[in-house]
Amino acid sequence: MPDQMHNKALEVMDEFIAKDEPFFLYYPSHLVHGPILPHERFRGTSGFGDYGDFVLQLDSYVGELADKLKQAGIYDNTIFIFTSDNGASSIIDIPKMQEQGHDPSNGLRGHKMHIWEGGHREPTIVSYPNLIPAGTTSNQMISHSDFYATIAEILEADLADNVAEDSYSNLALWQGNDQAVRQDIIHSAVNGGFSIRRDFWKLNVVKDGGMKMDYQREIEDYKEVFQPAELYDLRDDLSETNNVIADHPEVVEELMAALEEAILAGRTTPGENQANQPDLPTGDWEQVAFLSNYEEYVKSLNDKAIADGLVDQKTLDTKPKVTKARGI
């Protein structure tokens, strides 16, 4: 499958290059996702087992894409983005890799699907020689959602008010102006639990890293999961091991207010408020039970969902509810 997908990507590129037409190619490679099955021509090449061989296979594929652009003479005028939307997966047997001297989370806590930094802090590599000076680097906070506004700015395209409501252009960063483009960034774990980061502060509104999938059946007290539970100073605790939530109530209050504002507004960029949707079919949204007006807010979402024909009141009445759970 990886070879088939890669060959198709090269085929699509050839078609557009032959027509001398601009193109957009989104290529979410199966590599290095499970199952870890490197192609036979890469097996044993890394000296670090199947996973290492898989990584080399991906490296080779990325190189072939870049070479295709260079051979066609359009590499310098192409925006080439290489990144990942999550951290290392536990499917690769992380403890075993650590024993071999490799930490795929690079010292960060957690892995794929976690709210901790190991779940989502990933590098982003962008090549665009005609616009981005070689060797430009930045440690500013960005999100994949920012690609939308960034590309729109490059294309000089206006965005409607209800489009890309959480997207901030990174173009200035790409061009070497290393100034913050966003004040906050909000993450969600696999179970929908939230965290918010502002500067070096990060507040996690879950206690278990956001990995509990069956919380509705397993947890009687939702406050044990969905409440402000962890505050970290990432300046000297990037691995999120020292919870300082009890020492900085003013920071917790500030970040909770910012998170609540973003949820109620349905966006983090300036503009008209946008509607959210409850967690159907339950008609609830336990992950935001910390909101000061939680019950009223969820009722407004449910009323709209009913009006839009997404659910009926009878169905909502049969589902379990969660009461407001604000607190530290």
Residue 264 lies in a domain: yes
Residue 161 lies in a domain: yes
143 pLDDT above the threshold of 70: yes
Residue 328 lies in a domain: no
Same domain, yes or no, for 208 and 155?
no
The model's pLDDT over 216-253, given as tens digits with 9 standing for 90+, comes to: 444 444 444 455 679 999 999 999 999 999 999 999 99
> What mean pLDDT is predicted for residues 49-63?
92
Q: What is the pLDDT of residue 32?
A: 82
pLDDT band at 164; cut points 50, 70, 90: very high
Which of these, 86, 85, 111, 117, lies nearest to 98 by C-alpha position? Answer: 111
Domain of 146? 1-175
Q: What is the pLDDT of residue 210?
A: 64
Give me the CATH number covering residue 193: 3.30.1120.10
Helix/strand/coil percent split, the chain, to 5: 35, 10, 55
Same domain, yes or no, for 153 and 24?
yes
Burial grade of 232 (CB within 10 A; 0-12, 13-18, 19 or more): buried
Same domain, yes or no, for 41 and 101?
yes
Give me the CATH number covering residue 96: 3.40.720.10
Pairwise CA distance, residues 129 & 305, whole Å: 47
Domain count for the chain: 2
Residue 106 lies in a domain: yes
Which of these, 176, 177, 205, lies nearest to 189 by C-alpha position? Answer: 205
DSSP 91-159: GG-HHHHHHTT--TTTT-S--TT-SSGGGT---EEEE-TTTSPTT--------TTHHHHHHHHHTT---
- Residue ending a domain, choose from 135, 151, 175: 175
Pairwise CA distance, residues 231 & 241, whole Å: 10
- Residue ending a domain, choose from 123, 151, 175: 175
- Residue ending a domain, choose from 145, 175, 205: 175
Residue 326 lies in a domain: no
Single pTM value for the model: 0.85
